[in-house]
Amino acid sequence: MRIDGSGTLRASCALCPNPGPMTLDGTNTWMLREPGARAVIVVDPGPDDERHLERVARTVQEQGAQVAVALLSHHHPDHTGGARYFSELTGAPVRALDPELCIGGEALRDGERLRADGLEMQVIATPGHTSDSLSFHVPADSVMLTGDTVLGRGTAVIADDGGLADYMESLYRLRHMVRTAEIRALLPGHGPICTEPLLKVNEYIDHREERLSQVIAAVAAGDRTPDEIIDRVYVGIDPELRPAAESSVRAQVRYLAKRGDVPAGLEEGF
């Protein structure tokens, strides 16, 4: 089975030219097709960039194929901004977890199995980066498309601060699937393919758990306010990043209180 830098037997990537600090090299638009089949499933058409969307539509057409459906990994505009135009170009429906984002198709459900001309994919809810974040499992290629939940480089951002508990659960869910479904590569929404999925997901979990244990230690040492914890955990932090650190610390303390790792009641001041 082929898994290389450009894709897998069934998955190929069109990189959108929208690089940036949040989008890395740009948004990955994934095209999935059973070898020799006529139907293509597209994951994340990308931002509202007509040339990119036209290039994706043309690539599919040149393969003698047709877009059966476009799926959205989550609602951020660098993944969804071009969905309407892409649907107009290809005639394909657009489906996402959030019914508001769907065009001519139904909302996706966790665990749902999608089929298109021999291709099979399963929807895996992985909230945390956003509450509507999805991953997609392609069993025949032993790969998982992870959207912005796990990126090809660096660490993912948790969009709303209530998402930490969800995010940790999603990482543990992905790790469980990597092991039990023998996932051999992650195809992220940004950055390169990751061919060491277990190592990558463990890195993500360790990064979060390390921060959490620093917060536990700060509380144990007597810190009782977000400011005190920031001063201890984020030593020498750039003042501009302080509001972001504060919202992370609040989310971490609330999550730790729920897990029973800091005294109950402490989170009320946060």
Binding site for Zn ion (CB under 5 A): 76, 148
Tell me the C-alpha distance between 175 and 183, whole Å.
9
Q: Which two tokens stand for residue 120?
A: 């099979």
Q: Dihedral (C-alpha) 13, 17, 21, 27: value to the nearest 10 degrees?
A: -30
| Smallest separation (angstroms) from Zn ion to the CB of 71 | 15
Closest approach of Cβ 19 to Zn ion, in Å?
A: 15
Q: 46 or 226: whose CB is closer to Zn ion?
A: 46
CB 81 to Zn ion: min, Å = 12
131 or 202: CB nearest Zn ion: 131
Given the complex with Zn ion, which of 76 and 208 has the nearer CB atom? Answer: 76
Least CB distance to Zn ion at residue 191 (A)? 12
Three-state secondary-structure class, residue 221: coil
Report the C-alpha gap between 132 and 148 in whole angstroms: 11
In angstroms, give the least distance from the CB of 224 to Zn ion: 33
CB-wise, 82 or 226, nearer to Zn ion? Answer: 82
Cβ proximity to Zn ion: between 114 and 151 the closer is 151
**How far apart, in whole angstroms, are the C-alpha atoms of residue 67 and residue 60?**
7
189 versus 197: smaller Cβ distance to Zn ion: 189
> Looking up tokens 């929208």, which residue turns up?
18
Rounded CA gap, 89 and 96, in Å? 19
DSSP E strands in the chain: the ranges are 3-4, 7-8, 11-15, 28-32, 39-43, 66-71, 94-95, 113-116, 119-125, 134-138, 143-147, 185-188
Which residues have a Cβ under 8 Å from the Cβ of 84 and sit 6 or more positions away? 94, 103
127 contacts 166 by C-beta, under 8 angstroms: yes
CB of 247 to Zn ion, least distance (A): 17
